[in-house]
Amino acid sequence: MNIVNLIKNHAAPELISSAPSLLGESIESTGKGLSVSISSIVAGILNKSAEPDQMTEIWDLINHPDNNSNILSDLDDLFSGQLNFPDADSPGGKLVGALFSNNQDIFLSGIAKAAGFLNSGNAIKCLSIAAPMVLSFLKKKVKTEGYGMSGLSMWLGGQKNDIMALLPAEIESTFNAGAMPIILDSTESSYSKEDIRGLSWMPWLIAIVSLLGFMGFLMKSCNMQ
């Protein structure tokens, strides 16, 4: 199951079923809008994971006391403020600002077009829903798996292909996919390093074996004389 569906499944069923009526959009459009919003946020986090300072800021938001891992079960908390863009001082608002402040219009346009919203203003409402959904899910994931910041980055790196495949072209183009970290599984990485270290001894081993062979040949020649 890809990460977007994992996050949706983490949300209270009432949230997913109530969102279309709250937005005034069809179930299909709302589902697409939430999927693109979630994948955009997760792609943004993955993109920032290559920048330690910015990833540290996101890590602090995930573990912020105001990021309640159970917030998704309480619609009153999530929909407070009538679905306005996340408060700049809330964890969700700070996350959106950190990820999209430089190209917010592109993301909102991409979400609205991909979802087929009748009202393009619903894109900002989708981000209002998606931001706390993502933070809440990641906080629970970190606690459950015992991840540190690098462990979370590694896990997100394993979701890269699924994440990017869900993004519309307009949004995907804003991410430098080639610069996104390709994070190997820790076992694979360790194995590769051991291989490299082992191979680095090969020239010396070959030289020693050759020298011993040559010395043996000389000794044999001397004995024959």
What pLDDT was estimated at residue 191? 30
**Cα 70 from Cα 10, distance rounded (Å):** 9
Domain boundaries, the chain: 3-183, 188-224
What pLDDT was estimated at residue 55? 93
96 CB-contact burial (10 Å; exposed 0-12 / middle 13-18 / buried 19+): buried
Task: Indicate the SS3 state at residue 149.
Answer: helix
Question: Can you tell me the mean pLDDT for 217-221?
Answer: 56
Question: Can you tell me the mean pLDDT for 88-116?
Answer: 87
**Cα 52 from Cα 55, distance rounded (Å):** 5
Q: List pLDDT tens digits, range 18-40.
A: 788 778 899 999 989 999 999 99
**Cβ atoms of 38 and 133 closer than 8 Å:** yes
Q: Is the dihedral of CA 87, 91, 96, 98 positive or negative?
A: positive
What pLDDT was estimated at residue 125? 85
pLDDT bracket for residue 184 (50, 70, 90):
very low
pTM of the entire predicted model = 0.74
Question: Can you tell me the mean pLDDT for 29-54?
Answer: 91
